[in-house]
A and B are shown apart, each in its own frame.
Chain A
Amino acid sequence: MQGSEQDDMQGFHWMMDMLQTVDVGIVVLDKSFRVKVWNGFMESHSGLRPSQVHGKSLFALFPHINEAWFAKKAKPVFELKTRAFMTWEQRPYLFKFYNYRPITGSEPHMYQNITLAPLTSTSGHTEHISMMVYDMTEIASGKKQLEAMQVTNEEQLERQSSR
C-alpha cells in the first residue's frame, strides 16, 4: 500500500515537473479570470514569476487583452464545457511575448494558438478553465513567406501575359 502511495507521489512529482518544463504555456484561470497556475513557459516568456501573478486578474497583468472580448470567448467553456480556440491567423498573439529567435528570426513577437479548456471540479461544476499557449511563430513565418512568394509569382505571371 505504502509502495503504491509512493509511486503515486512520484508520478505526481513527474507530472508537475513536466507541466513546468513543457514548451507550451499553461495557465489556470478562475471565473473572474484571476491566475491560479502559471507554468515555466509563461514565466520565461513573460518575465513574471508565479508569485507575481498568482491571484491577480489577467487583464490587470496584461492590459492589452480586451476583457469583454476574452470573457465572451471563455463563456461557453464555463457554461457548455466545450473548448474554445484562437488561432494565430485570426489574432497573431494574445500575450505579447518575444519569440525564440529574437536575433535570426524575422518576426518581432511570438505567434500563438490558444486553447481554452474547462476544468471540472469534484462537484461537476466548471469553476476554472485552463489556457494553453502554443508557439506558432515558425509556422506563421513560413506561411507568410510562402504567401509573399506566391503573390510575387502571380504578379510576374500577370506582367508577362499582359506584354
Chain B
Amino acid sequence: MISILVCDDSLVARKQVAKCLPSDWDVAVHFAKNGQEAIAGLKQGKGQLLLLDLNMPVMDGYETLQTIREHNLSTQVIVISGDIQPEAYERVMQLGALGFIHKPVDPATLAKELIKLKLMNEAADGESRVILDADIRDCYQEITNIAMGQAGDHLARTMNVFVHLPIPNVNIIEASEMHMMLSDIEAQEEVSAICQGFIGSGICGEVLCILSDSSFEDVAKILDVKDKVDDQLQLELLMDAASILIGTLLSGLAQQLDVTFAQGQPLVLGQHRAITDILQGSKMQWKRTLAIELSYGLEGYNVRCDLIILFTEESMHTMNTKLAHLLEDL
C-alpha cells in the first residue's frame, strides 16, 4: 500500500485531488492544509507520494520543497497548482519536484503522471467518476473569479487591506460529503458562521461565511473597532464582514448571469463551535449541490475566512443553460 499526502489549503481542492486518484489503487490518503503540516506528515511516514499545492499560508509549496531537501525527507513530489507561469514550473522542478500538474486536476492527467513516475501500472484504471463538465466548471470558476475581483476591490477600498484573491474551487458535492467538506476547512479551531440565502430567476442557494475565532482580533483592527472584542462585538464584526463579502459576490454573480437575487436575512449558524456542529440539526433535503469554495486571506493579518456558495441541483440546470450560452459565444 502506498501512502499519499495531499497538501492544499483549500478543502475542495484536497477533496478533488483525492477524488482524482485512481479508484482501484490501494492507497492510504492523508491530508495537510499547509507545508508545515505536510512536513510533519512526511516525518510520520504519511507520504510516499506528496501532491503539493504552491500557494498556501504558513508554509508555501516552494518552502516545503526546500525543507524536504534540507531535511532529506524521502518522498516523491508532484506539484498541483493554479500558477501556470513557466517560472513556477522551472522553480519547482529545480527544487526537486518530479511532476507539475495544472489545476483543476483531472483523473486522466494525474494517472498519466503517476504512470510516468512508475508509481502505478499502465493497466490500472485511470478513470474515476467525472463530476463536472470541464468547460462548465471553467465557466463557474471564471464568473466567480470576476465576481470575486469586484468583491476584493470593495474590501480593499473599505478596509484598506490587500486581499489575496483565492482561486475558486468548483465542485459537486453529495449530501453525505457535506460534513467531510466542512471538517476539512478547519478541524482544530473553533469557528463562527453565518449563512444567507438567495433566490431569483430559478436559481437559489446559500452562502456560508465561516470565520475562525482567532481572526476576530485582527478583523477588529481592520474595521478600526477599538472596543473590547466580546461576543456581541464578534457577531457584529462577522455580520459586517459577511455582508460585504456575500453582498458583492452575489451581485457580481447575478450581474454575469443576468438575473437579480433576493437575499434573505443572514442567519447565525453558531458561534465558537467546531465547524461540523454548525450544521447540526439540519436534515439534508437535497442529494447534491454545486459548491464554490473561496478561502480569503488578508496580507499582514491573521484572518482566515471561508466563503462557500451552495447552489441547489435545480439551480444548476438553469445556470448551465445560461453558461452554455456564454460558451457558444466564444
A residues near B (Cβ < 8 Å) are: 21, 23, 40-41, 43-45, 47, 98-108, 135, 138, 145
Contacts and interface: CB of A to CB of B under 8 A. Distances in A.
Given A45-B199, A47-B201, A101 B206 contact: yes
B205 A102 contact: yes
A44 B206 contact: no
B282 A106 contact: yes
B261 A106 contact: no
B205 A103 contact: yes
A47 B283 CA distance: 25
A103 B286 contact: yes
A100 B285 CA distance: 13
Nearest to A22: B262
B312 interface: yes
Contacts of A104: 195, 206, 208, 269, 279, 282, 310
Given A103-B205, A103-B312, A138-B267, A98 B285 contact: no
A103 B206 contact: yes
B266 to A, nearest CB: 10
A102 B260 contact: no
Given A102-B204, A103-B286, A108-B285, 6 more contacts: A44-B200, A45-B199, A100-B206, A104-B269, A106-B285, A107-B285
B285 A44 contact: no
A109 to B, nearest CB: 10
Contact of A47 (B197, B202, B208, B264): B202
A41 B262 contact: yes
Contacts of B199: 44-45, 98, 100
Nearest to A39: B262
B264 A102 contact: no
Contacts of A106: 281-283, 285
A67 B286 CA distance: 32
Contacts of B269: 104
Contacts of A103: 205-206, 286, 289, 310, 312
Nearest to A49: B201
A99 B281 contact: no
A66 B259 CA distance: 32
Contact of B197 (A40, A43, A102): A102
A53 B198 CA distance: 22
A101 B262 contact: no
The 6 closest A-B pairs by CB, nearest first: A100-B197, A100-B264, A44-B262, A44-B200, A103-B310, A47-B202
Interface string B299-317: 0000000000010100000
B265 interface: yes
Contacts of B285: 102, 105-108
A145 B204 contact: no
Contacts of B200: 43-44
B99 to A, nearest CB: 36
Nearest to A105: B282
Contacts of A47: 201-202
A3 B2 CA distance: 79
A33 to B, nearest CB: 24
Interface string B257-301: 000111111010100000000010111011001000000000000
B286 A101 contact: no
Contacts of A21: 262
A145 B281 contact: yes
A82 B262 CA distance: 31
Given A104-B195, A108-B285, A98 B204 contact: yes
B134 to A, nearest CB: 25
